[in-house]
Chain A
Amino acid sequence: MTVREALNSALDEEMSADPKVFLMGEEVGEYQGAYKISKGLLDKYGPERVLDTPITEAGFTGIGVGAAYYGLRPIVEFMTFNFAMQAIDHIINSAAKSNYMSAGQMNVPIVFRGPNGAAAGVGAQHSHCYAAWYGSCPGLKVLTPYSSEDARGLLKAAIRDPDPVIFLENELLYGESFPVSAEALDSSFCLPIGKAKIEREGRDVTITAFSKMVGHSLKAAEILEKEGISAEVINLRSIRPLDRATINASVQKTNRLVTVEEGFPQHGVGAEICATIVEDSFGYLDAPVERIAGADVPMPYAANLERMAVPQVEDIVRAAKRVCHRSVPLAAAA
């Protein structure tokens, strides 16, 4: 099943199960979704539940939050999360903080979803990764699915969740196909929010990643296997709340850590994971933590520059070798 089909089926099932769930966003209806995620939903549920909005992110995000205050369960689709910056006031100030400010009276069962991070050749303003931005804000839950099973399970959990959830997808993963178990195809299938998945077990080094980087990490792990390094790959799945328990347990087993992310390095997800490990598992570390992140520059357009600005499989392999003291340390800057 492709990730696109997984998301579509999750939306379909949740909308048919609960009439209070509705989808709104740009081009979600008649265009069948800017990335065809909401294909067929307009025909099935009608224009009152699949709303094509004007290009007014601040306005319609606020409308979604207002509807959520009053008992509906909106799913707000952003064409990309870059555009959500026009609405970030509502995401943070009206949605994330409301349950706290109202002392539990106004909970906001809303899901904000859309593609996040770099695509191919789309330039600086369309390639920003927001995992760290939303991950720092209390009151939000931030999910980053990788495979189709993740996409299905986490989206269903997000829609059923009574709190605001940021669902960061990845455009390049939409077309990728993954095997799914029969259990995942069941309509009540749900994954827990806040639990990471160990995609591949290993003994020598822990590699944490989320979204597209999980794929790169798995490929890197295959290469490392041939060189005698057994890597454990953790698919974070949930940026907030971060599954610190799983990461710590893994590092306590392998004693080495490489964090991989696509976003900018400073104040990124990797930085948070480093800090967590230092706080809880300092004594278990045999080497300093290696952080792989995107280059600290706005995303360039030229294809070769873009390749250099985003972590590649070779970068992960090199970092894993460095942390296992198998190669001469190079400067960490990209």
Chain B
Amino acid sequence: MATAFSAAKFGTQFFPVGTRSHENPLFGHLKTPACSFLGSTRRLRFSSASKLNQINSHRRSVVVAVSDVVKEKKSKSTSNLFLLLFIPAHSIQLITKEEGLELYEDMILGRAFEDMCAQMYYRGKMFGFVHLYNGQEAVSTGFIKLLKKEDSVVSTYRDHVHALSKGVPARAVMSELFGKTTGCCRGQGGSMHMFSKEHNLLGGFAFIGEGIPVATGAAFTSKYRREVLKEADCDHVTLAFFGDGTCNNGQFFECLNMAALWKLPIVFVVENNLWAIGMSHLRATSDPQIYKKGPAFGMPGIHVNGMDVLKVRAVAQTAIARARSGEGPTLVECETYRFRGHSLADPDELRDPAEKAHYAARDPITALKKYLIENNLATEVELKAIDKKIEEVVEDAVEFADESPHPTRSQLLENVFADPKGFGIGPDGRYRCEDPKFTEGTAQV
């Protein structure tokens, strides 16, 4: 893996990022944004994005949108890892057929599931806050499909697709959304709080930035297990997913600092979809280039086109390998977009229709489909078969959730504490949890 260079070399190489990006024509437009962009990102994103597309069409089989800093350093570094990304030979296949189909299936599952959620919400089967992931599938699939079962993922309230990619069955997620007792959290968590111990999905947090320290703690545990508890093979990596709005939050910076300080095996994945409900990223952030915040804390900051699953996957491979080998954290900024509003209650009036159309044209699923067919990795027929299969999976999930029972009354008081004695001592002097009538009737605690 990444043995060709030491951690120290890697760390210092990324420091002068501020100076480099301005000279690169890719990011030139972002250097001096005009004032009229306030509220709309159309002018900015259009120009830089179209440049990216041009370059994409020329070097299709090679990952391009890695931060120019990495490209600069490539000439100095002798690392095998980066050689893999930058060999310009067109004959290199980025993925095999099996991998391609796996990625396609995962993204279609994410998309179909979220579309079904919208339908179910408007039919009243699902309620409360539901935040959908349409358009961002490439980030979830690109990163999570590279993980082992023991690696963990920490997410935000937009966590349905992270759960699905990590392996939580669609049935369990749908039941949880319906509030049924067969859900992954027995209906007690809901849309925003998906937990699965089996699949190491550590939630599902409603507060932005809340998941980042928790993810950092999971990474800390991984390191602790290896070094203090002497479990030599423990090299579990943690991925923390969060959005652009979170990058202005204090907890984010606190964790960048501690993760780099203690060299924790974590990858901070920013899903920059440019909007925090109705607040444009550019109106909220003094320096909108989030990946630059990594080197400020001593870790690499990488920017990648989050609408292209292959590019995301390539960057993810680097970052995850770096974490697994003990070299420390990475900050990856994925430029992506959500096709729907912030949540199903959001009328989504502030975003420019032209911007939405622009990103709709860069739909990651369409892009992958095109790639697979053009590179003869799959046929239309095979992909259609996958579409059909996923449609059945999602419909089966809805049926299962519909037929599942609601939680029973006694479930109300369960699981507050792992140690049930936490409810204290009853009037008869014994622990309340030993009283058979404890979870019946009114909660008279």
Contact = CB atoms under 8 A, between A and B. Distances in A.
Interface of A: 19-20, 22, 48-49, 53-54, 56, 58-72, 89-90, 93-94, 98-107, 109, 138-139, 141, 161-163, 192-195, 238, 241-246, 248, 280
7 contacts: A56-B254, A63-B220, A67-B217, A68-B217, A106-B203, A163-B422, A241-B424
B195 A102 contact: yes
Q: Which are the 10 A-B pairs with shortest beta-carbon distances? A: A66-B217, A62-B213, A241-B424, A59-B254, A102-B195, A107-B418, A103-B186, A66-B214, A56-B254, A63-B217
Contact of A106 (B202, B213, B216, B250): B202
A59 B195 contact: no
A71 B222 CA distance: 10
A232 B380 CA distance: 83
A195 to B, nearest CB: 6
Nearest to B256: A59
Given A70-B218, A102-B203, A243 B213 contact: no
B417 A139 contact: yes
A63 B213 contact: yes
B417 A141 contact: yes
Contact of B425 (A58, A138, A245): A245
B195 A62 contact: no
Nearest to B426: A245
A61 B195 contact: no
Interface hub of A59, A109, A163, A245 (most chain B Cβ within 10 A): A59
Contact of A66 (B189, B221, B418, B431): B221
A67 B219 CA distance: 8
Contact of B213 (A20, A90, A100, A245): A90
B421 A193 contact: yes
Contact of A60 (B258, B417, B426): B258
A117 B98 CA distance: 62
B439 interface: no
B367 interface: no
Interface stretch (B33-41, B88-96, B224-232): B224-232
B197 A102 contact: yes
A62 B255 contact: yes
Given A58-B250, A72-B221, A245-B427, A102 B214 contact: no
Interface stretch (B127-135, B204-212, B281-289): B204-212
Given A65-B217, A67-B218, A106 B195 contact: yes
B101 to A, nearest CB: 31
Contact of B224 (A72, A106, A195): A72
Nearest to B424: A241
Contact of A104 (B210, B217, B415): B415
B197 A66 contact: no
Given A60-B213, A193-B421, A241-B424, A98 B261 contact: no
B424 A105 contact: no
A99 B416 contact: yes
Interface of B: 152, 154, 185-189, 193, 195-197, 202-207, 210, 212-222, 224, 227-229, 250-251, 254-255, 257-258, 261, 414-419, 421-429, 431
Contacts of A163: 417-419, 422
A287 to B, nearest CB: 23
A20 B227 CA distance: 12
A69 B189 CA distance: 16
A13 B426 CA distance: 31
A243 B423 CA distance: 10
Contacts of A49: 228
Nearest to B249: A58
B87 to A, nearest CB: 38
A115 to B, nearest CB: 23
Given A54-B261, A104-B414, A139-B417, A67 B193 contact: no
B210 to A, nearest CB: 6
Given A69-B218, A162-B418, A59 B424 contact: no
Contacts of A61: 213
A66 B220 contact: yes
B425 A241 contact: yes
Contact of B207 (A66, A89, A244): A89
B260 to A, nearest CB: 11
A105 B183 CA distance: 12
A94 B221 contact: no
Interface hub of B207, B214, B419 (most chain A Cβ within 10 A): B214
B419 to A, nearest CB: 5
Given A54-B257, A60-B213, A248-B427, A67 B221 contact: yes
Given A94-B210, A99-B415, A141-B417, A193 B220 contact: no
Contacts of B426: 245
Nearest to A45: B228
Nearest to B444: A279
A140 to B, nearest CB: 9
A244 B418 contact: no
A93 B427 contact: no
Contacts of B214: 62-63, 65-66, 69, 90, 94
A98 B70 CA distance: 39
A316 B72 CA distance: 74
